[in-house]
Amino acid sequence: MNDFVQSCRLATTYPKNLISPGEYGGYQHTLQKYVDSLDSRESELFGPEDKASLDFWDLDDGSTQFKFTRTKPPELESHLHFPPLPPRSDPRCRFVFVNAPSSRARLRATRKMLVTTTSYHQVMPSFLDFVFSFGAQHHAKDFSFTGFRQDTRLSNVEKSPPIASLGRSGRAIQLCYNLRSVEASPDQEHWPWSIRSTATHHAFDLETGLASWLMVKGEGGASMKDRIITETSSRNANALNRFGDRCQAFSSALSTHLLLGDWSVENWRWYINYMEEEVQAITRKTLSVKVTRQQTEPKPQVMFTRAVTGVLVPPKKTSTSKSATAKQQPIIPLTTIQPQPGQGPPGPPGPPPSMSMIPKTASFDPSMHDEEFSFEDLRRIERIEEHANEALLVMTLNSSVLSALSQHYSFVTESADCPQDLKTACMVDLRRFKDRLSDIFAENQAQKARMETLLRLLADRKALLYGILEYRNVEASKELAGKTKYSADRVEYMTQQMKQEAIFMRIITLVTLFFLPGTFVSTLMSTNIVQWQTPAPGGLERVVSRGAIETFLAITIPCMALTFSAAYGFYRWSKWNEQKWLKRQAAESAQP
């Protein structure tokens, strides 16, 4: 008893204060790591004291009904008869419920309340591994951590120190585990399901038959507290509400394990149905969509030839049965026909090809296809696949826990150190427990097989959807390449036109330069500036009017200056507008 009192006084150092921490996790460095983890995670794991409370559901010795008590921090030690208060025998069965607003919120308990309770009941250190999965977190952390731990002591050699005043013999089954299940979360708009965890610690004294339970679960979905209170308060005869002797208490413990096991598999069927409906809604149309290759006809080699007049014209089309489709054939690069010697300079460029020669765009409407399939569909499929993989892992780990639980009770009842009367009296209940646990395990395996099938379907549908999107991207690229080819053909045609026009301009320039001097002289000679008179028979006399020359220069030079000034001003204005446009483009590009 003195060791127990000392352990309770050092409750703040839990789990280092335990009288017998056990082989598993009982090393001092391991216990210190638990203390350090509690220190580092205290702010995100435990809630404020003014909102903290623990719910007790106790069946005291001599009573036939459970009693519910919600204890606040100041009342906890009094309710437990925590030292230095005088000791009191433990209830025949005690359930302690630690709650949280949600699976990702801080517990409605303080660290002191938790370590006080765990120190009083000498809870094995490894239970903290499952408690650490709770606490404030934006995204689910440690969701894959599921396990089974036990520190059962059957023989007198390995039993922990007995505490007779509390009804503890030291020979006890002690185990802890956590199970996960999926529950509906209507508040979540995009994914109305959540995977939630229940951490459970259980101790059963093999000699006195006293049992204790410590459960941690976030609110939302099924409430373990409500289910256990309902079953243990029911007037209908069931294994959960029978505590007349040690065998009945043992059977009640087995039924409580089954209650948790049933919870771990009860919603997987509906969750998988929901995911299957989502997958079908997104990908069912991929099985019926028509993905056909566009039919294209061979492109004719359109040659532009020169007529007798020197005009570049397209050849005449002959009437065929495919005249309607010929309008869709694209033009190809033009071929320049060199003029034959003696034909003279080339004529003016011919008209551009008829618009009937421009190929019509293919029947590919990106907006239409975006409404059918989009990258958003792939993202939704990926999200469903992530949830499916998460669920598959949870079901696999749950199977391991259920299997370990069954094997452990088989070990306990088959051990020579287990009380013989307990093995004999509980044989039927134990067989039913194993059978029911096998049914739960089989149900879990069946839903696991469905999930694996769904994952294969997801992979196939995702590959099909990706293939359709990829195919349409390729077709869009081909369509863009065709349009680019058509634009290149048009540019080449216009280049040919510009080339012909350049030749014409050179010819005009040469002719103009050839006749310009004579034209200027002839014009000047026809004015009154220079006159030819006949002063004498047989001779001509040139008469130059100085005033006319001055008048000509006075008018011509200012007009030339004005013309050049206007041209220069227009050039500067064009450059200024260009610089302004470039600065505006640079400013728009610099904006995020």
177 and 43 within one domain: yes
Domain assignment present for residue 304? The answer is no
For residues 36-56, average pLDDT: 95
Domain assignment present for residue 493? The answer is yes
The torsion of the CA quartet 61, 65, 67, 68, rounded to 10 degrees, works out to: 140
Of the pLDDT bands very low, low, confident and very high (cuts 50, 70, 90), residue 408 is very high
Which of 526, 549, 582 is the C-terminal boundary of a domain?
Answer: 526
Of the pLDDT bands very low, low, confident and very high (cuts 50, 70, 90), residue 202 is very high
pLDDT of residue 177: 97
Domain assignment present for residue 508? The answer is yes
389 and 240 within one domain: no
What residues make up the domain containing 469? 271-286+330-339+347-526
Domain assignment present for residue 320? The answer is no
Helix (H) or strand (E) holding 537: none
279 and 370 within one domain: yes
For residues 359-366, average pLDDT: 42
570 and 516 within one domain: no
Q: Measure the CA–CA gap between 276 and 284, rounded to whole angstroms.
A: 11
547 and 477 within one domain: no
231 and 91 within one domain: yes
Q: Which two tokens stand for residue 334?
A: 């033009």
Among 8-22, 390-404, 542-556, name the one with the lowest average pLDDT: 542-556
Q: Measure the CA–CA gap between 405 and 363, rounded to whole angstroms.
A: 64
Which of 526, 542, 574 is the C-terminal boundary of a domain?
Answer: 526
449 and 562 within one domain: no
Domain assignment present for residue 114? The answer is yes
Residue 531 has pLDDT above 60, yes or no: yes
Beta bridge partners of 168: 163
pLDDT of residue 42: 94
For residues 519-525, average pLDDT: 78
pLDDT of residue 153: 93
pLDDT of residue 294: 54
For the chain, the 3-state helix, strand and coil shares in percent, each to the nearest 5, are 55, 10, 35
565-576 pLDDT tens trace? 999 999 999 999
Which of 498, 526, 554 is the C-terminal boundary of a domain?
Answer: 526
133 and 115 within one domain: yes
275 and 230 within one domain: no
pLDDT of residue 58: 95
Of the pLDDT bands very low, low, confident and very high (cuts 50, 70, 90), residue 333 is very low
Q: Which two tokens stand for residue 362?
A: 């293919």
Domain assignment present for residue 301? The answer is no
Residue 137 has pLDDT above 60, yes or no: yes
DSSP 3-state of 188: coil
57-80 pLDDT tens trace? 999 988 889 999 999 999 999 999
365 and 259 within one domain: no
Among 19-28, 391-400, 488-497, name the one with the lowest average pLDDT: 19-28
Total domains in the fold of the chain: 3
Residue 166 has pLDDT above 60, yes or no: yes
207 and 141 within one domain: yes
Of the pLDDT bands very low, low, confident and very high (cuts 50, 70, 90), residue 290 is low
Domain assignment present for residue 518? The answer is yes
The CATH number of whichever domain residue 6 belongs to comes to: 3.30.460.20
548 and 438 within one domain: no
Query: Reading across the β-sheet that carries 93-100, which strands appear in turn?
Result: 67-71, 54-59, 93-100, 211-218, 193-205, 172-184, 148-150
